[in-house]
Structure 1
Amino acid sequence: MAASATGIAVGTNVARAASGNYGELGFGEGPYGGGDGGLAVSTLGATSVTATSARFAGELSDLGGASAADCYFAWRAVGASSWNTTGARTLSTTGTFVTEIGGLSAGIEYEYRAVAAGSGGDTASGNTVRFTTDAASAAPAVDSYSVTEAGSPNPHAEITAEWRVSDPDRDLDTVTVAVLDPSGTVVASSTTTASEGRDSGTDAFTVKHAKGRTFYVRVTVTDAVGNSDSGIRSVTE
């Protein structure tokens, strides 16, 4: 299964790989060991892997007599019939090159390899490296939420918020309940550290000298990777 993604290499030149009998698209099974004085490139491990992106790295170890080489990456989802290629960085000396790939699919195994196309027409490819993107992160949810106010004759607003939250990933982080006035200013708030896949709680607030005033009470649940959900209710003293 091929993914729709883009690669942005450091540098702006577009690679033109000579076939050199190196297999698919000219970079299937070229030499990559070095040591014979020929063009040589190796594939380094993927880093900064998320559910939708990864960072590829390669190393040009020998120019093989060429004045420069266009260095880029070929990549695909494991099992796909065709390869994608990134943009290229032109190197005139040996060294490493890096490309950021975005738009990948969560929980999928991918493979990639570094490719070097020398100015003299030779092409070499590195070994193939595999990695799996992170699983998709599900957002937490506010399952139930209610707000009450104690009412008159108390001249102060006595607000009670009851909430229940959940997260299928079981990575709940915090639940924040905030009391806002009509201008959106927070006049009181409370944050609870939530845990695992489900939690519930009650928060009570007193806003003095609030007779006849309306307040908005907002609950926000956030998980460990920043996904969130919220709900809001209004009360009048």
Structure 2
Amino acid sequence: MKLSDIRREYSLNGLKRSELVANPIEQFNLWLEQAIQAGLADPTAMTVATVDEHGQPFQRIVLLKNVDDSGFVFYTNLGSRKAQHLQHNNKISLHFPWHTLERQVHVTGTVEKLSAMENMKYFTSRPKESQLAAWASKQSNRISARSILEGKYMELKAKFAEGEIPVPTFWGGYRIKVESIEFWQGGEHRLHDRFIYVKSENSEEDWDISRLAP
């Protein structure tokens, strides 16, 4: 079969303007809860897009760790490629692909680093194995073999066998301050429903909602 012949109809649900709530974070949380209840694998997985100093876009999958009216939160190695990109250009894009529900959510905004207290609170809540992995991996750096990474992990496991594991200085979180959120619902005959929320020019608390052509 040719790749150009692979297609399917989207017919689960439509999306009407009257079904949307005024606040996009509330709308996102509603859809996220439905994705969780539907048993989707990794419902908090999102594509994070950044741009390097040459204008080259990069994407990768990370997990959403918190979302509220102040923004979307994820954590990473602060020396990673995406962190280096964000240091030069703090604009970012998130994408949630909930294929089973025939839904997508696209977020644009800018990032700010979380405080040391916020980083510590989340880091200490992680399983010990994840804490060790944060220490062991110099994310995005070249390594000659997996055995080097595994050896470093075992070395750290022995070192921190007793007591708490401190938060690495090179690890932390980012909060995405939202500028727009688009909700996409698949529709029959490729007549998808798309609505975008953009911050109102008249109020920091209000959002303008527009329907977009598919």
> Same fold per TM (> 0.5)?
no
**TM-score computed with the length of structure 1 as normaliser:** 0.24
**TM-score computed with the length of structure 2 as normaliser:** 0.26
More strand by share: 1
